[in-house]
Structure 1
Amino acid sequence: MPSPKVWSFSTTIRAPERIRGFLHVLKMLEGVEYDQESQVRFQTLLIKEKKYRPTNLTEEEKTVCQDPDVAFSEEQASEIFNRQGYEDPPMRGRTSFAPLVEMGLAYVDDERLIRISELGKYFLSEDYDISKVFLRFLIKWQYPNPLSTHFSEVRGFNVKPFLVTLHLIKRVNELWAEEGNEPVGLSNDEFNMFTATLINYEDIESQAQRLIEYRKAVRSRPGREQPAFKEQYKHDFVAAHFDINDESAIRTQIDNLRDYGDNARRLFRLSQYLHIRGKGHFVDLEPLRTAEITPLLSEFDGSADAFPSVEAYTDYMVNMNLPRLPWINVESLTAIAQTVVDDIKVIQHLITDRGGSFDEAPEEDPSGMSEGQLEDYIELLRSYRRELQLSQQILESQDAEVIEEPWRNMPQLL
């Protein structure tokens, strides 16, 4: 297998809406021994609960899959599973189980029993916050790690992809400002080329410099020449990075980088530390989370941690309290809460100026609150702020006489 020169997510993690469904099914097997029998049963239950759809289905089975009011029995699901003719049936269950372990949502304990982690239990709760789940995973996600030998240190990997992406955007913004420009984050093309190919945290500075050179080269050309220049640059960039010269292979890698970039943007935004700007063409650090992003990047440089064993790494991933985040203290959390309150007052004022109305804000006295209580209070305030932002958007659309679905931009709200 050729040496990888990019980081990427597993297929299942690329579809976060599937993760919670898989975890719901695994909950049925909690406390069961993790062996070949339970691995097959897990995959069978995924079929039964319509969380996984095999390709070899009868027309009647396809109809059942599409009808939410009709269910498969476990016997029917087992028949469907067996009909697939897998060479290694338990492997299908292991493959579906792997991303849950990778994200720290589930694990196999010392007695080889299936367990749901505290983070996994939180994800299954009714009032879960998906940003909290993915932030906890993304901050820890690294290459190399004991669960993946493919992205090894020997192959050049020393990276926490989410953190180095934040570092890269921050550094590019700084360099762009030094040139006398307004920081804009990264364009989608820049993100696709320069993030997944950043596989070692020590290369953040050189990657940022290279990106700035590319951006300046694009902008130095007349508008009509820029598309052709970008395409040629991507071609040459991929050929050099992957050390290939076959045109078909180059085109494949260009397409792969676009797919990796799309997946990373979508998943990284679940952390609520990134936001989209420039009518969807740029991704930048979320200014409303500066109080968290700044200390995070000061404390974590994006390098991978060393773990002596798979067990040590798994223990780390399932521990909701690790790593200790730098703003998780009463003083910092109180300051963050006050920042959100100040934001709320500004948005309320803008809504009032436009003749709008709003429900009253949550009123609590943060003094004397514990860290956990402050985190809950901040989450409540941010939820209220999102409602205000949506109301503000609707009013602005009405004022501009623009007819559009206001929820279309909801992923941009925090």
Structure 2
Amino acid sequence: MRKNTFNIFSFDTTIRNPQRNIDFLQIIDKIDGKVLNEKSLLIYWYEAIGKGIYRPQNINAEIRNKLLKGESLSESEIKRIMQDNPQKVQNGFEGRAITHFKALHSQLLLIYDSQSKVVRISKLGRELLNHPYDVQNIYTKILLGIHFGSPIRKENNRARVFLNTIFVIDLLKREWGKLEKESKGILRHECVFVLGIKDCDYTKCVSEILTYREMYGLKENREYIENYCVSNDLKHLKYDTIKTYVDEVFRKFAMSGLIIARHNYYDFSSFESKKIEAILQHYKDYTFMEFSDIYEYIDFAYNITLPWIENNEVRKQIATQKAKELHISLQDLDFNDLTLLENKLNQTFYQQALKSKIEVSQIDTLLNELRILASGAQEKSSLDNIPEPLRLEYLLALILGKKYGSKNLESNLIYNENGEPLSYAPAGKADLLYENFSFEATMIKNRNQQLNSETTSVARHFYESKKQNTLEQRAMLIAPYIHWDVALFFKFCAKEFDSKLAPISISSFITLIEKSATFSEFSTNFDRLFVDKLLRDKTDAYVDSVNFVR
């Protein structure tokens, strides 16, 4: 880089979807603290292929069939896949793994030392692994901590991009409002002004955006933006590359829950407006900080205390504002247990956001998305930005809500303002509830993992639900492929509890939905087509019937 050249901020684009970071961290956990060598590399790719994070294009029929059934591959089969699918990056599969490490490294979730070749999950990465339901606070800490021009990425820039963005949007909305114009945030094509800031002077950035709007209004002018980059000593990039940078950066920003995409704008989440105010107040004098090494840098981000974490007065203000946003009377709020109150308000918000998404969704489109998941094919999904396990649970919620109404639907995902899932909710609850029916969803195909990870949770949730309710309860496990051992476990539970439980494949679920006009029919057909068959037939026959839907 030339001495006086600055850059436009971006995240590494190898892992485009920040929601998949946990999937990668779970794999890296198997080699955490180890040197990247032939043995650890084989472990990494064994897990990546087994979990479906890497899908090889060239694969023989026998191995493909094992993958579809979730059967474990041998070391020789993994090596065969790697041999038959050469990577286009330097050093092949090792180089490809390193690109994953660097992507997580740039988000402060992992430390990869290219000299020693040791891979270590950072404290922030460990926090995300252990508390995925706290994803918004964890990402907010990461984003507040990221410095553009740091030990991780040495640039001439000295900027704190997330803080710059928050202060730019805030000031831009106020200045635009003074002109008696509707303040919607920052337009997508204007984000280059923010990502190209060389320092922390956000006021200059707002002035540049207002100048641009005076000349071109709210329209996109490619020539002006390209000339702006050249005249401001920003590294030359193709215009389409700049737009990709913007998409990548704001996809990460959205994980905080504070910034939301609305049509062509990026703006503050109305539901989290008090948190934005708290950040604006707490960081009003923010500056760029220098760090001696990567460890000091990541420790700084890890030790950030968010303004609303330990300040009960701020927490009360946030809860009050959220209640108003949800049209809940303040008289109905109990501030004695703030954690309980916050959880209740958040759950209400998540359900409302999901309901809004259900209203604009089309059942045929949703079922087609589910077919893509069921087939395990490479067909392009319109929800490709959502990891498959999260996508399955999300689609089930949308389909049940669209087909049978959202009144009796309870989804335990964390949603943003647009009704898009950010993460899973805390463990301990069924994935999805509809009336007296609990649904557990998994994309796990491996027999042992499916048996150990999914069956006991279904049984536990069902048993607890049955104790608390007088209505007859039902439970279903939905997975791409149902194994004999899993079906046998459900058969035992159905007999033990004298209740209606059954595991079914995604394809079988689609058939069940299509055959059931009402939720009452859905329950009746579930009993007849699955529970009765599970109890009546040999387990082998049941497994064949749910996995190979004609």
Q: Tell me what 1:313 maps to.
A: 297
Query: CA separation in 1, counterparts of 2:62 and 2:179?
Result: 61
Q: CA deviation at 1:378?
A: 1.7
Q: CA deviation at 1:136?
A: 2.4
Q: Tell me what 2:240 maps to.
A: 255
TM-score for both structures, normalised by structure 1: 0.73
Q: CA deviation at 1:142?
A: 1.5
Relative to structure 1, the CA distance from residue 40 to residue 276 in structure 2 (aligned partners, 3 Å threshold; closer, same or farther) is closer
* Match status 1:95 vs 2:108: no
Query: CA separation in 2, counterparts of 1:337 and 1:33?
Result: 44
- Per-residue CA deviations over 1:9-42 (Å, capped at 9, x if unaligned) read 0123432233111111122234x53343565245
Name stretches of at least 5 consecutive residues in structure 1 with no aligned partner: 221-225, 350-362
Which of 296, 305, 316 aligns to 1:334? It is 316
Q: Is the 8 A contact 1:268 1:274 kept in 2?
A: yes
Q: Is the 8 A contact 1:43 1:92 kept in 2?
A: no
Q: Tell me what 1:358 maps to.
A: none
Give the alignment of 1:79-158 within 5 angstroms: 79-81=80-82, 84=86, 87=91, 90-107=94-111, 116-117=121-122, 119-125=124-130, 128-149=133-154, 152=155, 155=156, 157-158=157-158
RMSD across aligned positions (CA): 4.0
SS of alignment partner, residue 158 of structure 1: coil
| Matched residue type, 1:330 | N
Query: CA separation in 1, counterparts of 2:365 and 2:75?
Result: 45
Greater strand proportion: 2
Q: Is the 8 A contact 2:101 2:112 kept in 1?
A: no
Q: Tell me what 1:412 maps to.
A: 418
| Matched residue type, 1:87 | N
Q: Tell me what 1:276 maps to.
A: 261
Relative to structure 1, the CA distance from residue 219 to residue 144 in structure 2 (aligned partners, 3 Å threshold; closer, same or farther) is closer
Relative to structure 1, the CA distance from residue 146 to residue 366 in structure 2 (aligned partners, 3 Å threshold; closer, same or farther) is same
Tell me how many residue pairs correspond in the alignment: 363
Query: CA separation in 1, counterparts of 2:69 and 2:140?
Result: 32
Query: CA separation in 2, counterparts of 1:105 and 1:36?
Result: 21
- Per-residue CA deviations over 1:65-98 (Å, capped at 9, x if unaligned) read 9836455434322343356385376444433223
Name stretches of at least 5 consecutive residues in structure 2 with no aligned partner: 367-396, 403-414, 421-550
* Match status 1:181 vs 2:172: no
Query: CA separation in 1, counterparts of 2:69 and 2:232?
Result: 47
Relative to structure 1, the CA distance from residue 235 to residue 96 in structure 2 (aligned partners, 3 Å threshold; closer, same or farther) is closer
Q: Tell me what 1:166 maps to.
A: 166
Q: Is the 8 A contact 2:186 2:265 kept in 1?
A: yes
Q: CA deviation at 1:393?
A: 7.1
Relative to structure 1, the CA distance from residue 235 to residue 330 in structure 2 (aligned partners, 3 Å threshold; closer, same or farther) is closer
Relative to structure 1, the CA distance from residue 81 to residue 148 in structure 2 (aligned partners, 3 Å threshold; closer, same or farther) is farther
Q: Is the 8 A contact 1:42 1:93 kept in 2?
A: no
Q: Tell me what 1:27 maps to.
A: 29
| Matched residue type, 1:97 | F
Q: Is the 8 A contact 1:44 1:78 kept in 2?
A: no
Q: CA deviation at 1:273?
A: 1.0
| Matched residue type, 2:78 | A
Query: CA separation in 1, counterparts of 2:152 and 2:175?
Result: 36
Q: Tell me what 1:240 maps to.
A: 231
Relative to structure 1, the CA distance from residue 379 to residue 135 in structure 2 (aligned partners, 3 Å threshold; closer, same or farther) is farther
Relative to structure 1, the CA distance from residue 344 to residue 34 in structure 2 (aligned partners, 3 Å threshold; closer, same or farther) is same
Q: CA deviation at 1:161?
A: 1.5
Q: Is the 8 A contact 2:6 2:198 kept in 1?
A: no
Q: Tell me what 1:194 maps to.
A: 193
| Matched residue type, 1:283 | Y
Q: Is the 8 A contact 2:353 2:416 kept in 1?
A: no
Query: CA separation in 1, counterparts of 2:334 and 2:140?
Result: 27
Q: Is the 8 A contact 1:144 1:304 kept in 2?
A: no
Q: CA deviation at 1:330?
A: 1.6
Which of the pair has the greater relative contact order for Cα pairs under 8 Å at 6+ separation? Answer: 1
Query: CA separation in 2, counterparts of 1:404 and 1:41?
Result: 38
Q: CA deviation at 1:243?
A: 6.9
TM-score for both structures, normalised by structure 2: 0.56
Relative to structure 1, the CA distance from residue 197 to residue 64 in structure 2 (aligned partners, 3 Å threshold; closer, same or farther) is farther
Q: Tell me what 1:223 maps to.
A: none
Query: CA separation in 1, counterparts of 2:300 and 2:81?
Result: 37
Query: CA separation in 1, counterparts of 2:197 and 2:9?
Result: 8
Q: Is the 8 A contact 1:142 1:161 kept in 2?
A: yes
- Per-residue CA deviations over 1:228-248 (Å, capped at 9, x if unaligned) read xx243234334434579xxxx
- Per-residue CA deviations over 1:145-182 (Å, capped at 9, x if unaligned) read 21223xx2xx2x11121111111111211221222323
Query: CA separation in 1, counterparts of 2:253 and 2:120?
Result: 27
| Matched residue type, 1:345 | H
Q: Is the 8 A contact 1:41 1:93 kept in 2?
A: no
Q: Is the 8 A contact 2:6 2:234 kept in 1?
A: no
Q: Tell me what 2:350 maps to.
A: 386
Q: Tell me what 1:299 maps to.
A: 282
